[in-house]
Chains A and B, each alone.
Chain A
Amino acid sequence: MQLETTINGNKIVLDFAGGEFLAETLRRYGYLSVKEGCDTGSCGLCTVWLDGAPVLSCTTLTARMEDHEITTIEALNVEAEEFAQFLVAEGAEQCGFCAPGFTMTVLAMRRELKHPTVESINHYLAGNLCRCSGYKGQMRAIVKYMGVE
């Protein structure tokens, strides 16, 4: 199958199999920041933005992507770098495999939460699993990054 969509601001014609999900398509097209961790929509590693909102690319059918805007971390280099500096300053990226999807969620959260608190941040990020860090270092980084009181 074939359709036209926008990835990171560029219009592109995607070739894909009928049952294919977006995570697989994106990796095939070279967006290697997109990781997959679970096959069941449970881990958050594959988070990308669909029309500006964070979604699981493993649960989003590629066939539905006609005329949508998909954003991966490759398009957010400056912002991602800024947050990355906070995260690595805490050592909280660890193995790093969950970090791009986590960062996509954090950057979306920054746009969405007007008055972030530790509680609302934790709730927003609950779908991003991490087995290395124990989450606390991630929160220390976010509190500094977002200037939470």
Chain B
Amino acid sequence: MKYIGKRIPKIDGVGLVKGVPAYTSDLAINNNALIVKILRSPHASARIIHIDTTDAMAVPGVECVLTYKDVPETAFTLAGQSFPEPSPYDRRILDPVLRYVGDEVAIVAASNERVALRALAKIKVEYEVFTPVLDVESALDNELKVHATQPHTNFDVGCDASRNVAAAHSLEFGDVEAELSRCEVVIEQTYRTQAQAHAMMETYRASTSIDVHGRLQVMTSTQIPYHVRRHLSVILGLPKSKIKILKPRVGGSFGGKQTASVEIFPAIVTMKTGKAAHLVYTRQETFCCTTSRHAMVLTVRLGADKQGNIKVVDIHTLSDTGAYGEHAPTVFWVVGQKTLPLYSAICRYHGHAVYTNKAPGGALRGYGATQGTFALESAVNELAEKLGMDPAELRLKNLIKENDAHEALCGSLPGRPAVLASSSLDRCIKKGMELINWKNSFPAKDIGANKRRGYGMAVTMQGSGIAQIDTGSVTIKLNEDGFFTVSHAASDMGQGSDTMICQIAAEVLEVEMDQIIVASFDLDTLPYDPGAYASSGTYVAGKAAVIAAEQMVAQMRGAAARILDVSAEAVAYDSGLLSASADKKMSISELATTLCSFAGMDQLISKGTYGGETSPPPFIAGFAEVEVDLETGESKVIDYVAVVDCGTVINENLARIQVEGGIVMGIGLGLFEEVRYSGKGRLTTNSFMEYKIPSRLDIGEIRVAFEESHEPTGPYGAKSIGEVVCNTPAPAITEAIYNATGMRCRNLPVTAEKILMGIE
């Protein structure tokens, strides 16, 4: 292998570090766009009785002020999902009913930001204020309703607005209650996970204009360019052919930009005015008026025999989707999908995702698996303690193994459970135990005065793409002097999918990577891809790249055969050289030049399309060493060991950084990150001063090791890595803290205060 498995630098890296203009706001700056600002609801639940924009319109420089009276009434979801989206169509561009503090009241477009803000302050609104539904645990069947009418859903997801239910679900394999009643040891505990912010460094932004063909041009920082186009088409009543989407470099996303939170606002301004418009969310808007990780209440019941054979797993979840149901059903399902296959054939997943008058939940790295893993793995740790077993050994005894089948694995059909085709999770656990010196360290040791170090572990699985739904394509064009253009819409947002696809194409095409141009900017020129989510980049788009590149090699052999006047089978291809015999051979460059000319007359373009029958899970075994100050409750993750099965590692550098970045995000979730609300429903953690993400001083050692498995359906045996990485820290850390202090925290984050108040 020349490129696969190597530490290849990202193809756009140096330019980005040097600050070369590459992001939406860099490229949009020269079109004198109107600046768009949004007036937002100060109330968590209210109705606009009267809205007067006269004074705002009179501010010099104001181009338009739009209220609910001026925009289409079409209902939709902003979730980036393949049609038919499971998410309820419960929002409008502007709505007289306001469902959370920050909900959009009016849109102002003006010649510059200062003018727009002056105009915003002059809009007069009279509200009828209602009592909001703020508490997730009393939202179900509350007499107060977040949505007065039932939203449209494309199929039954259990949405029932009259009960404040955005989605409901129940999935059972075997008879869970009967099995639980037979079990010698049962654990039943309730765990709470908090809302978490994506906190990507580039806030949400989009820039719109009408191009020379009269098409709406939208440049946006997104993970989902094709879904953005579909949403805008539906919302604005424009054919998709009349919308051009540009996706520049994206300054981080983590699932946030899998919801089209901002594009509609400049787009409606451009449609109304015919003028270019630009919207950049402030950090406050990014925190308060987009999405965050669904907060959940999860009750886990585990049953086992005294020998530690886990017989049954039951997980009940209550998910807080906030005011709108973007990703509400799917995040809710994934909690179960990525936990039920792990331990037991008899299992159940059930519960509700409920509406509240808070900022919407949404997609965030892990997508429910993070919450599910915290609950299930915490419960498994508690079971190990109750059984008097080493939690690592308990897992090794029970976890699903390579070639096992499980009905809850994605891709299963009724009566035909999917088979786990690759897993090295057992090796990951053993390797992790070795690295953290588990046998000698677990459960805890004293470290000098008033300090103790505890050890804890957790395992997790995710998926690789959405089985039997998401399907992505790659095309490859042979250019006139022998270099290639590889086109795809898998939406690099920093993780390096452009580079990964380039590596794979170069490996198959047997050329240097600099002979390949990766095009991923202009949707007009790109084949379909649902976007960068569900950990699909390497597995789905990477596999499509393999197929396209192999087809290109076949096409080149065929074309060379025609020119050399031999059969295609007679042409061998090796590192840029096509040869049939010692005197009948040509380089790619010679072939390409001929094919573009009158003599050759054959532009070669190949394609690859792939979607998985299954969603092969990557796995991680995570081990935490946490030091707790017994006098103040402060804790620090001294060492975190993550051993990863992502199948074949395509690019060791990028894979390692995914793991390290995900673990730090998981440590933040475990220890201090928390979206908080005031008693009236205002999101109070609205800046990096109030919502702290880990700085480099908050992080101890992080050690990453790979235990490769070989996924037969993946490109070169690869699976995904982007999401699975942030799931293990929270349960491993809380277990380590328990082992150090005897204080078991089932309510994230586990702050110093909770620890100190809980000790004794």
Contacts and interface: CB of A to CB of B under 8 A. Distances in A.
A97 B252 contact: yes
A14 interface: no
Interface in A76-104: 77, 80-81, 83-85, 87-100, 103
A129 B668 CA distance: 13
B10 interface: yes
B620 to A, nearest CB: 14
Interface residues of A, number: 54
Interface in A95-149: 95-100, 103, 122-123, 125-139
Nearest to A130: B201
Nearest to A77: B18
A96 B657 contact: no
Interface stretch (B20-28, B224-232, B394-402, B623-631): B20-28
B427 interface: no
B759 interface: no
Given A95-B494, A131-B252, A134-B661, 15 more contacts: A40-B688, A42-B687, A87-B17, A93-B16, A94-B495, A96-B22, A100-B18, A125-B696, A126-B696, A129-B688, A131-B199, A132-B252, A132-B494, A134-B665, A137-B660
Interface stretch (A1-9, A29-37, A49-57, A60-68): A29-37
Contacts of B10: 88, 91, 93
B651 A103 contact: no
A43 interface: yes
Interface of A: 17, 27, 32-35, 37-40, 42-43, 45, 72-74, 77, 80-81, 83-85, 87-100, 103, 122-123, 125-139
A103 B696 CA distance: 15
Q: When A and B form their complex, which 7 residue pairs have the shortest distance between CB atoms, in order from nearest?
A: A33-B19, A95-B494, A96-B16, A97-B251, A88-B13, A91-B653, A134-B660
B689 interface: yes
Contacts of B654: 91
Contact of A91 (B9, B14, B699): B9
Given A27-B29, A73-B19, A95-B249, A45 B696 contact: no
Contact of A42 (B114, B249, B689): B689
A96 B699 contact: no
Contacts of A43: 201, 688
Contacts of A97: 16, 23, 200-202, 251-252, 494
B593 interface: no
B661 A132 contact: yes
Contact of A39 (B7, B252, B282, B496): B282
B282 to A, nearest CB: 6
Contacts, number: 179
A34 B323 CA distance: 35
Nearest to A123: B697
B689 A40 contact: yes
A81 B657 contact: no
Nearest to B701: A136
Interface in B654-705: 654, 656-657, 659-665, 687-689, 693, 695-697, 699, 702
B284 interface: yes
Interface of B: 7, 9-10, 12-14, 16-23, 25-26, 29, 114, 198-203, 249-254, 282-284, 493-496, 651, 653-654, 656-657, 659-665, 687-689, 693, 695-697, 699, 702
A93 B687 contact: no
24 contacts: A27-B25, A32-B21, A37-B202, A38-B688, A39-B283, A40-B283, A40-B688, A42-B687, A73-B18, A81-B18, A83-B17, A84-B17, A91-B9, A93-B10, A95-B493, A97-B494, A99-B17, A100-B18, A126-B696, A127-B695, A131-B254, A132-B495, A133-B661, A135-B696
B251 to A, nearest CB: 3
A135 B14 contact: no
Nearest to B702: A136
A66 to B, nearest CB: 22
Nearest to B202: A97
B693 A93 contact: no
Contacts of B253: 95
B19 A131 contact: no
Contacts of B695: 126-127, 129
B283 A126 contact: no
Nearest to B691: A42
Given A32-B19, A91-B651, A137-B656, A98 B201 contact: yes
A114 B140 CA distance: 61
A129 B652 CA distance: 24
A38 B663 CA distance: 23
Nearest to B199: A131
Nearest to B690: A40
A131 B661 contact: yes
B201 A33 contact: no
Nearest to B688: A42
Contacts of A122: 696-697
Contacts of B665: 131, 134
Contacts of B495: 94-95, 132
Contact of A134 (B198, B282, B664, B687): B664
B13 A129 contact: no
B418 to A, nearest CB: 32
Contacts of B687: 38-40, 42
Contact of B251 (A33, A35, A133): A35
A92 B657 CA distance: 7
A95 to B, nearest CB: 3
A137 B687 CA distance: 26
A103 B657 CA distance: 18
Contact of B114 (A17, A93, A130): A17
